[in-house]
Amino acid sequence: MKQWTQGWLSYSPKKDCGNNKFLKKISFQGFDKESVILQNAIKELEIGIAGMLSVKTEVTFEEQLETGIQIVKNNEIHSEGYNIEEKEGILTLQASDERGMLYGIYALLRQISMEKSLTDIKIAEQPGSPFRMYNHWDNMDGSIERGYSGKSFFFVKEEVVVNERTRDYCRLVASVGINAVVINNVNVVGPATYLITDRYLEKVKEMTDLFSGFGIKLFLSLNFAATIELGGPNSADPLDPEVIKWWEQKIGEVYAKIPNLGGFLVKADSEGRPGPFTYGRTQADGANMLADIIKPYGGIIIWRCFVYNCQQDWRDYKTDRARAAYDNFIKMDGDYHDNVILQIKNGPMDFQVREPISPLLGGLKKTNQMLEVQVAQEYTGHQIDVCYLIPMFKEILEFKTYCAKEHDTIADIISGRTLGNINTGFAAVINTGNDKNWTGNDLAGANFYGFGRLAYNMKLTAEEIAEEWIRQAFSNDTEVVEKVLKILMESRATYEKYTTPLGIGWMVTPHVHYGPSIDGYEYSRWGTYHRADHLGMGVDRSDKGTGYAQQYYEPNAAMYNSMETCPEELLLFFHHVPYTYTLKSGKTLIQHIYDTHFEGVEEVEAMMASWATLKGRVNEEIFTVVTERFNKQLANAKEWRDQVNTYFYRKSGIADEKERMIY
């Protein structure tokens, strides 16, 4: 008995739906029989079909079928994409490469799992972005930075672990179309620096090879000061010939051992990490040095843009952390080499429940860009509170930047449509750990699943993704599907209601980032302020304030610049607003704060009540885990409600119109 679940690949018995007839014979045509991906695909088909429909499948090669499934190589299909079509008893799956074939097979299994008929099926999918990536923030001591699902399953006691769970991880990851994974924390400290040395390379190679069998490129986070820490030159200056020589040799060694390594992710000059700034060099100098060395091996350097001054003085109203990524990177647009990708957080701050889109995305016009989101719920409830994030990611993808006449959305940029480039992507700091259910709260599995699906197919709606996941991971029972779907789809709005209002963000317990502390970051060095006084709150980022709004293209810049046209959900991000300001709802700002905070708690109570009716309809263990988390979420929501309402009542002196309890 495995000590972990199979998530959405549990392959429990399903209704036939007329699908059995296709499954008795499956023929592969045109693919290399010896390929590991193919072998893995066949294994998946066999266990999936056996588990769900109790059909014994015969797999053949190069044979025309009368009835059944033909899996055919067709070079006209988009790389990593697939077509599925049923005609007269024969279901044909076409792909131009093994990844596409594998994804297509998972798509077939998904249909069966969701109890959809394969008869008359017609699906064509192709990836939304070349690099679809999970970033794990796992440390080698087994801890996970911002991890809420137990310990690492990649690292235990400073050793790299490759076992049966790693394989199941690959299956889950490949099944949703993820093709790249960074296994270690971007903050590379201690033994993690040694991942590129003999101490660990053998084991990293083993993991890389396992990943490759599922079409996944393994990446490592790199310590920019590895030269110094690994006993090379006592410098990390990217223009120092000794440093360059050291990296040439080091990367040569690594690729000699692991030719299928994807490349490296680097967090430099940020929050105390070393980087090129230390040596008076640019971020481009740093990234290009590594990129040039890794290029002959086909490797990629992913360079994070999370660079800001984390020693700000709260008294300083001029400096604006929101401006930092753009200010630090825009000047070097065009300087980055082809195999460098800048990885840019979705918002200008740090994964708050509501932020505007980073103006650096699309601001850069000559640079490869990768969008980074956070599936790990650092600021969105620690996988205690339910917060289905795919609707937020959809909003991000659909944001119109006006960086070009057409194809100017974030989805366009990271698909390569905007700039016609191929090194682009979509990365998520992922939410897994060695908890039995992988994600702490089972409901957070929807984000683990959903990010991959969305990155692969950006046209899917958040509802479609959620329904797919519920049917596969929980049940096809209509009541379960409808109720869980409603919970997921409302969850982010609910979380936002009881936490920080109208885009202001933060107000969380420092360091921990769970639970309220309204002034917790108000007098800190982190650049994260709400500036609330007795009259109003919010940060003026208009042209009269920090000027952040001017980092956008028009008409976005003008829209954000004015309190009247600024989208209200971001009002306090862009403007300092009186408590008595009337919103479009007709409510004052302060009344809006009170109302949403009372509503937020009521909505959690309603979710809990809805969930409670599912006892007996979902797996007992899932029911219990989720119920326990809901109890904690309710306590958290009440604490937020009471602290926020009390704080702003005490500060504004304006009473709640409805005279509810404020302390």
CA-to-CA distance for 38 and 310, rounded, in angstroms? 48
User: Smallest distance from the beta carbon of 509 to a second copy, in angstroms?
Assistant: 9
- Residue whose CB is less far from a second copy, 422 or 661: 661
The number of CA neighbours under 13 Å toward the Cβ of 321 is 25
- Phi/psi region, residue 571 (left: phi>0; alpha: psi -120 to 50; beta: rest), is alpha
Q: Give the length of the chain.
A: 663
- Could you write out the DSSP letters of every residue in 340-393? EEEEEESSSSSS-SS-PPPTTTTT-SSS-EEEEEE-S-TTTTTTTS----HHHH
Phi, psi at 156, each rounded to 5°: -135, 125
CA-to-CA distance for 457 and 310, rounded, in angstroms? 36
Kind and range of the H or E run holding 302: strand 300-304
- Structure-block tokens of residue 93: 């799956």
User: Smallest distance from the beta carbon of 591 to a second copy, in angstroms?
Assistant: 17
User: Smallest distance from the beta carbon of 638 to a second copy, in angstroms?
Assistant: 10
- Could you write out the DSSP letters of every residue in 404-456? SSSS-BHHHHHHTTTTT-SS-EEEEE----SSTTSSSSGGGHHHHHHHHHHHH
- Residue whose CB is less far from a second copy, 303 or 526: 526
CA-to-CA distance for 440 and 623, rounded, in angstroms? 13
- Residue whose CB is less far from a second copy, 60 or 631: 631
- Residue whose CB is less far from a second copy, 535 or 609: 535
- Residue whose CB is less far from a second copy, 331 or 650: 650
DSSP annotation of 259: T
- Residue whose CB is less far from a second copy, 279 or 581: 581
User: Smallest distance from the beta carbon of 647 to a second copy, in angstroms?
Assistant: 8
CA-to-CA distance for 405 and 343, rounded, in angstroms? 24
User: Smallest distance from the beta carbon of 634 to a second copy, in angstroms?
Assistant: 15
CA-to-CA distance for 366 and 398, rounded, in angstroms? 21
Q: Tokens 């051992």 appear where?
A: 257
User: Smallest distance from the beta carbon of 535 to a second copy, in angstroms?
Assistant: 7
Closest CA to 636 of 392, 387, 440: 387
CA-to-CA distance for 392 and 454, rounded, in angstroms? 11
User: Smallest distance from the beta carbon of 533 to a second copy, in angstroms?
Assistant: 4
User: Smallest distance from the beta carbon of 635 to a second copy, in angstroms?
Assistant: 11
Closest CA to 145 of 384, 428, 430: 430
Catalytic positions, written as ranges: 271, 350, 378
- Residue whose CB is less far from a second copy, 430 or 508: 508
- Residue whose CB is less far from a second copy, 482 or 533: 533
First to last CA, the chain: 51
Which residues contact a second copy by CB under 8 A?
Answer: 314-315, 317, 516-519, 523, 532-535, 639, 642-643, 646-647, 649-653, 663
Cβ partners under 8 Å of residue 473, min gap 6 = 7, 8, 10, 442, 445, 446, 449
Closest CA to 264 of 168, 159, 133: 133
